[in-house]
Structure 1
Amino acid sequence: MSTLRIARPAIALLTGAAVAAQVLTGVPAATADTALDTAPVNVTVNTRAGLAAASDTAVGTNHAIWDGNLGTNETADLLKAAGVKMLRYPGGSYADIYHWKTHTAPGGYVAPGTDFDTFVSGAKRTGAQPIVIANYGTGTAQEAADWVEYANVTKKYGVKYWEIGNENYGNGHYGADWEADDHADKSPAEYARNLVQYSDAMKAVDPTIKIGAVLTTPANWPDGIVAEGDQATWNDTVLSIAASKIDFVILHWYPPYNNVADVLTKTAHIPDMIYLVRKQIAKHAGARAGDIGIAVTEINSGIAPNTQPGALFAADAYAGFMEQGVFTVDWWNVHNGAGTISTVAGHTDYGDFGMLSSGTCSGDTCEPPLNTPFAPYHALTMVSAFARPGDRFVRAATDEPLVVAHAARRPNGDLAVLLINRDPDGEHQVEIDYAGFTPAAGAPTVQTLTNGATSVSTGHAGTATTQTLPPYSLTTLVLHPATATTGSPAAPGQPTASGVTDKTATISWPAAAPGASPVAKYEIHRQNGAVTEQLGETSGTSFTVHNLVPGTRYTVNVVARDTAGRVSWASAPLTFTTGTPDKSSCSVRLTDTSDWGNGFVATVDITNTGTAAVDGWTLHFTWPTGWQTVSSGWSANWTQNGTSVNVTSTPDNGKLAPGAATSIGFVGAYSGPNVLPTAFTLNGALCTAQ
């Protein structure tokens, strides 16, 4: 049987098959000589631009009951050595056919030595928390509640995280059908209603557990689609019914790609992906929104999964999701089996979605011996060492698309920097600039994973400000501060925003605990990439910011400065979006009327709310991302330059008397999360967005 098919949606398999022929040709060419002749890559690390803290379950992976090595000590010890802190069970789509009491999965293969008790024993040996998928497709709420009772009451395993089903949108409701679902009604509303029953039954047994709801991932099928008979998308429907009963939401990410080089760029989608999910949660959960976590319980590059591109993707994606506060990211999977054989960057790729070799063969080509680590295993090892539980990510950026940077500061004052060179052929010199941190002199501790390496190397090389990155490599620097950070004030508490208008917002935060000297003032910093601008300062714990840009997303941090000049680390980030004027001479409503996952039909209603007639108009808006375009439009003249869109009237709709309105529309395309614009101008005047 093909273990790959049970792990991924059929639609994703079709995508992968369509591009398989490009694996060998999809890597951009470069030469080491060319790289050496170019100017150094500028890297900026800003510790005043704080992001999320790394959770104690961030680095995870999946176990599957068809893997006979699930419970072996060798497997557990390898996962422990990689720093794995979350283990998911019983394995992807098998979850919706698995009955834990009998340890059977009708229609599927169950390997010996993979029962629940064996899994938990292995997880304990690894030092990882379990995350368990309750059978939604062919099971019942009572069966799930009995599992909780056995796990946490009878056996006292303390299993905290429970997912309700796996990829249940793949049950045929949207066309593709790979997920078992015996419910006559396969709609998101029915899933949500049953989810409530599961949550009530399971929490009646153990009120301390966390219940997770399956969501679709922004810009990945079937996100955005409203199926026949539904009133809204899967996510909106599920959250509108079940938000009060869940503790986290579940995303899976197998990014669509054209080739190896393309898949490595898809990590740029992560911030907007999580932003949109948080907006959906906030829309339906209200005051509880901040208590609902996000878990990415399946992820894989989908292409070159055993070689260096898989490692580069894994490290970049794990760091990217952790920066956004995702509490676990779980690689698919530990063992999977050989698939399509190819050569990638000079090395054999077995098309195996496991991070450890299964020792299987495909045709005449056999994998290395059982449990030989593949490249993504080493990437997870590096991520675990780079950002440890409790470390707080800070902004890092580069001026070269082929070089990516992430950074995390540690409670003891140290700073770790992860540098990813996505250039398959050229090394890159980097020069690193630090804001809010002064590194100690001398060569830093450096970890490196190079193309084809069988382990992570550790040593001392370069300086804190200059490094050479080998082609297709991961490099981590651990830096000590030039001066001790003892005596500094603690970071201020989580900021909140209130009174947000089109141009103002009031930022408030819990006071910072003083260090050796009293706190003198607080500074409010806005993130603009890896650069911050100070919006103001105050001796209090609240500050109203003025002159903000309407319809703009802001992320801010607060730092404390004491009377001796010592500065705290940055607070956790606060993100808010300004609105548009309550009153204006025009109003605009943009509505996504039909969506198919990478494109949509939109209507734009324009109303003259002023007192003077309009004779000819130009509407302007800017796309929030670089992957959104107007493909075609009607009832107006549509042009796009970069992310800027201009729309001019036609002779039929150019005249708008006071109170008059016109409706126009367009077909939009997107290849990443579709964050809609919220600010529009008409003849230069900022409109009220409805």
Structure 2
Amino acid sequence: MRRSVQSCHGRAIAVAAALALAATGAIAAVAPPAVAANSVSVSVDAALQLATVPATGVGVNIPVYDANMNSAATPGLLSTAGFNTVRYPGGSHSDVYHWQTGTAEAGAYVAPNTGFDAFMGTVRAAGAQPIITANYGSGTPQEAADWVRYANVTKGYGVKYWEIGNEVYGNGEYSNGNGWEYDTHSSKSATTYANNLVQYVSAMKAVDPGIKIGAVLTTPGYWPDGIVGPGDTMDWNHTVLSIAGSKIDFAIVHAYPTSTSPADLLTKPQAQNPAIAGAVRSLINQYAGTNAPNVGIAVTEANAQAYLDTSPNGLFAPDNYLTWIENGAFNVDWWDLRNGTDCTKVTTVEGATDYNDGGMVSSGAGCEPTVNTPFPAYYGTQMISKLGAPGDTLVKAASSSSLLSAHAVRKANGDVTVMLINKDPNNAATVSLSYTGFTPSSATPTVYSYLKNGHSIGSAQSGSTTAQTVPAYGITVVQMHPTSAPCRVVYNKNEWPGGMVGTVTVVNNSLGQVNGWSLGFTFPGDNAITNTWSASVSQSGTSVNAANVWYDAAVPQGGSVQWGFNATWSRSDANPSAFWFNGASCAIG
């Protein structure tokens, strides 16, 4: 991938060990008066689910050259922002770092007290989980397998997600040996990586079959995607997946979109993420065979390349995370928590100082603010935790304006929350909201807001469920409760290891006479429906939709309908946590 100095090889700016720990202030910025207001319509379809919010969705990198990795402040910084995944040992350092000794090759700096056990203590204290990048560049399958054994057998850490190498395609294969990724293999071709990857998978899963292992891909549309290297017959992605696609559990891309202006940057989540995710999914489907539905997509490095510490990136961050997840990524990891900077490149963007630091918070070095001072991207990411939590459902939200992004979440209790991101730096947005499959109560909603150049997140009871004003360059999250539930679902099952029989009863409380119905829900586990009665049922992944058959289409108000199914399962057959009857959210029980 062609990137600026913030690429992995350029990110290894040693964060000085002497950085002092300090508390951050929480002074809210006063929004400047808007000179005009743009009218925007946002429609929310609470019955059209895009994705389940994953427990690994909102992540961040912490590299071993960060001297504050395991400081007392770090767990709080992680949990407050809502980070549930932390990637280690960090970017290109992954391919020089040896976990047993805590040392790195090629003269790479490793800060004190950044060893694996110390890192795991911080991650656990934050209530997060790790994603570990095993050393491919100067490591071996045996070294990686030993790491799995130590982590999951000796220490019982239960580390589930493992990458094999960082940006391995940056090993010089495509640039006359002038790459940024350390690679001591005599052959640096995609074929070599893929064949070695299979060996890593075999060795590591022999220790713990339950772990998930990811393969490094080039980002579709970014260099060196599409280039066929010496010794290969296809480009990197086709080669790697044709050899290892049936063996891996997830595919990895990194995404640092280039941009010509803040306005251009703020178009990138919608303009690029769906296309990249679709291209990766197509490759997985092409090469992973029957394993394809089980292969996930992880974006283990993500950030902008400019405006890093100012308001544009504060808007870009939540929009970027959520758009990736809506398009199938189970993990997105920001580069990074603390990074460091070159103080000769400090600029001013939208009235605030941009230190050209890729971190979410200040490293405290040189020209920067006190260590751990949050930058706007930190607050923007924290707003995601106001929108929803793991297990909630991202649903369709559409905006009439390209200057306002909208994301929506439906919670298991029937609540709906909406995030509105105003990309206009000068004008407020007057937003009218409409809903399908959800009827909000008349109560004034709780509204969280992050303002341009702000230093905290505010909350208030304001506006209404159908009208909100979002300040210029502001983010608003509106939390709403439904009116009383118009339907009720009773879900019963008879289970045994590997199989079950389920019956579903829907009671029509207040929907009037129903003539034709559909019921949507998502299995939390890996249930696969094999047979049904009294309904026409389709299943895509864990999502299920049941519709009436000819003899039970009519359900009077106060009446009910019942249907049933057989299913297989292996890991879990936990009960669904939410149901939608003709788009209406139903009570359970």
Q: Per the alignment, in what secondary structure is the counterpart of residue 420 of structure 1?
A: strand
Q: Report what 1:411 is aligned to.
A: 412
Q: Report what 1:305 is aligned to.
A: 308
Q: Report what 2:433 is aligned to.
A: 432
**Higher relative CO (CA 8 A, sep ≥ 6), structure 1 or 2?**
2
Q: How many Å separate the matches in 2 of 1:455 and 1:168?
A: 39
Establish whether residue 563 from structure 1 lines up as the match of residue 555 from structure 2: yes
Q: What is the deviation of 1:283?
A: 0.5
Q: How many Å separate the matches in 2 of 1:513 and 1:543?
A: 15
Q: Per the alignment, in what secondary structure is the counterpart of residue 246 of structure 2?
A: helix
Q: How many Å separate the matches in 2 of 1:33 and 1:152?
A: 55
- Structure 1, unmatched stretches of 5+, are 14-30, 491-509, 526-537, 545-555, 573-690
Counterpart contact for 1:142–1:201, Cα < 8 Å: yes
Q: What is the deviation of 1:230?
A: 2.1
Q: Per the alignment, in what secondary structure is the counterpart of residue 513 of structure 1?
A: strand
Q: How many Å separate the matches in 1 of 2:368 and 2:60?
A: 21
**Residue type at the aligned position of 2:536:** T
Q: Report what 1:8 is aligned to.
A: 8
Q: Report what 1:174 is aligned to.
A: 174
Q: Per the alignment, in what secondary structure is the counterpart of residue 488 of structure 2?
A: coil
Q: What is the deviation of 1:442?
A: 2.5
Q: C-alpha deviations, 1:394-417, integer Å up to 9, x for none?
A: 111111111110111000000010
Matches within 5 A, 1:187-336: 187-268=189-270, 269-336=272-339
Q: How many Å separate the matches in 2 of 1:309 and 1:485?
A: 42
Q: What is the deviation of 1:385?
A: 2.5
From 351, 355, 368, the equivalent of 1:350 is 355
Q: Report what 2:465 is aligned to.
A: 464
Q: How many Å separate the matches in 2 of 1:170 and 1:102?
A: 25
Q: Report what 1:376 is aligned to.
A: 377
Q: Report what 2:536 is aligned to.
A: 541
Q: C-alpha deviations, 1:128-161, integer Å up to 9, x for none?
A: 1111000000111111111111111111111111
Q: Report what 2:89 is aligned to.
A: 90
Counterpart contact for 2:538–2:545, Cα < 8 Å: no
Q: C-alpha deviations, 1:609-648, integer Å up to 9, x for none?
A: xxxxxxxxxxxxxxxxxxxxxxxxxxxxxxxxxxxxxxxx
Q: CA RMSD in A?
A: 2.8
Q: Report what 1:109 is aligned to.
A: 109
Query: Structure 1 315/150 Cα, relative in aligned 2: closer, same or farther at 3 Å?
Result: same
Q: How many Å separate the matches in 1 of 2:504 and 2:338?
A: 47
Q: C-alpha deviations, 1:429-484, integer Å up to 9, x for none?
A: 01011111111113211111111111111111110110111010111011111222
Q: Report what 2:496 is aligned to.
A: none
Counterpart contact for 2:405–2:422, Cα < 8 Å: yes
Q: Report what 2:119 is aligned to.
A: 119
**Residue type at the aligned position of 1:47:** A
Q: C-alpha deviations, 1:580-626, integer Å up to 9, x for none?
A: xxxxxxxxxxxxxxxxxxxxxxxxxxxxxxxxxxxxxxxxxxxxxxx
Query: Structure 1 520/357 Cα, relative in aligned 2: closer, same or farther at 3 Å?
Result: same
Q: What is the deviation of 1:239?
A: 0.7
Percent of aligned pairs with the same amino acid: 47
**Residue type at the aligned position of 1:168:** V
Q: How many Å separate the matches in 2 of 1:163 and 1:543?
A: 34
Q: How many Å separate the matches in 2 of 1:564 and 1:471?
A: 48
Q: C-alpha deviations, 1:476-504, integer Å up to 9, x for none?
A: 011111222661478xxxxxxxxxxxxxx
Q: What is the deviation of 1:64?
A: 0.5
Query: Structure 1 513/229 Cα, relative in aligned 2: closer, same or farther at 3 Å?
Result: same
Q: C-alpha deviations, 1:38-82, integer Å up to 9, x for none?
A: 5x2111111122111001111110011000100112111111111
Q: Per the alignment, in what secondary structure is the counterpart of residue 73 of structure 2?
A: helix
Q: What is the deviation of 1:557?
A: 8.1
Query: Structure 1 522/539 Cα, relative in aligned 2: closer, same or farther at 3 Å?
Result: farther
Establish whether residue 514 from structure 1 lines up as the match of residue 517 from structure 2: no
Q: Per the alignment, in what secondary structure is the counterpart of residue 120 of structure 1?
A: helix
Q: How many Å separate the matches in 1 of 2:93 and 2:222?
A: 22
Q: How many Å separate the matches in 1 of 2:8 and 2:224?
A: 14
Counterpart contact for 1:50–1:571, Cα < 8 Å: no
Query: Structure 1 543/292 Cα, relative in aligned 2: closer, same or farther at 3 Å?
Result: closer
Counterpart contact for 1:294–1:327, Cα < 8 Å: yes
**Residue type at the aligned position of 1:73:** A
Q: How many Å separate the matches in 2 of 1:196 and 1:432?
A: 50
**Residue type at the aligned position of 2:408:** A
Counterpart contact for 1:315–1:380, Cα < 8 Å: yes
Q: Per the alignment, in what secondary structure is the counterpart of residue 329 of structure 2?
A: coil
Q: How many Å separate the matches in 2 of 1:215 and 1:423?
A: 35
Query: Structure 1 408/360 Cα, relative in aligned 2: closer, same or farther at 3 Å?
Result: same
Q: Per the alignment, in what secondary structure is the counterpart of residue 245 of structure 1?
A: coil
Q: What is the deviation of 1:569?
A: 2.6
Counterpart contact for 1:211–1:246, Cα < 8 Å: yes
**Residue type at the aligned position of 1:98:** Y
Counterpart contact for 1:57–1:86, Cα < 8 Å: yes
Q: How many Å separate the matches in 2 of 1:90 and 1:559?
A: 45
Q: What is the deviation of 1:304?
A: 1.1
Q: What is the deviation of 1:326?
A: 1.3
Q: What is the deviation of 1:427?
A: 0.7
Counterpart contact for 2:302–2:334, Cα < 8 Å: yes
Q: Report what 1:67 is aligned to.
A: 66
Q: How many Å separate the matches in 2 of 1:408 and 1:88?
A: 26
Q: Report what 1:186 is aligned to.
A: 188
Q: Per the alignment, in what secondary structure is the counterpart of residue 298 of structure 2?
A: strand
Query: Structure 1 160/33 Cα, relative in aligned 2: closer, same or farther at 3 Å?
Result: closer
Q: How many Å separate the matches in 2 of 1:298 and 1:395?
A: 26
Query: Structure 1 10/351 Cα, relative in aligned 2: closer, same or farther at 3 Å?
Result: closer
Q: How many Å separate the matches in 2 of 1:270 and 1:571?
A: 31
Q: C-alpha deviations, 1:234-292, integer Å up to 9, x for none?
A: 11111110112111111110012112211110111212221111111011112111111
Which of the two has higher C-alpha Rg? 1
Query: Structure 1 197/230 Cα, relative in aligned 2: closer, same or farther at 3 Å?
Result: same
Q: What is the deviation of 1:163?
A: 0.4
Q: How many Å separate the matches in 1 of 2:275 and 2:519?
A: 23
Q: What is the deviation of 1:102?
A: 1.1
Counterpart contact for 1:43–1:430, Cα < 8 Å: yes
Query: Structure 1 6/543 Cα, relative in aligned 2: closer, same or farther at 3 Å?
Result: closer
Q: What is the deviation of 1:374?
A: 1.0
Counterpart contact for 1:438–1:482, Cα < 8 Å: yes
Q: C-alpha deviations, 1:72-127, integer Å up to 9, x for none?
A: 12111111111111010001000000011111112200100100110000000011
Q: How many Å separate the matches in 2 of 1:438 and 1:517?
A: 16
Q: Structure 1-normalised TM-score?
A: 0.69
Counterpart contact for 1:61–1:87, Cα < 8 Å: yes
**Residue type at the aligned position of 1:433:** S
Q: Report what 2:23 is aligned to.
A: none
Q: What is the deviation of 1:514?
A: 2.7
Q: What is the deviation of 1:380?
A: 1.6
Q: Per the alignment, in what secondary structure is the counterpart of residue 46 of structure 2?
A: strand
Counterpart contact for 1:53–1:325, Cα < 8 Å: no
Query: Structure 1 153/557 Cα, relative in aligned 2: closer, same or farther at 3 Å?
Result: closer
Counterpart contact for 1:9–1:170, Cα < 8 Å: no
Q: How many residues align?
A: 503
Q: Structure 2-normalised TM-score?
A: 0.80
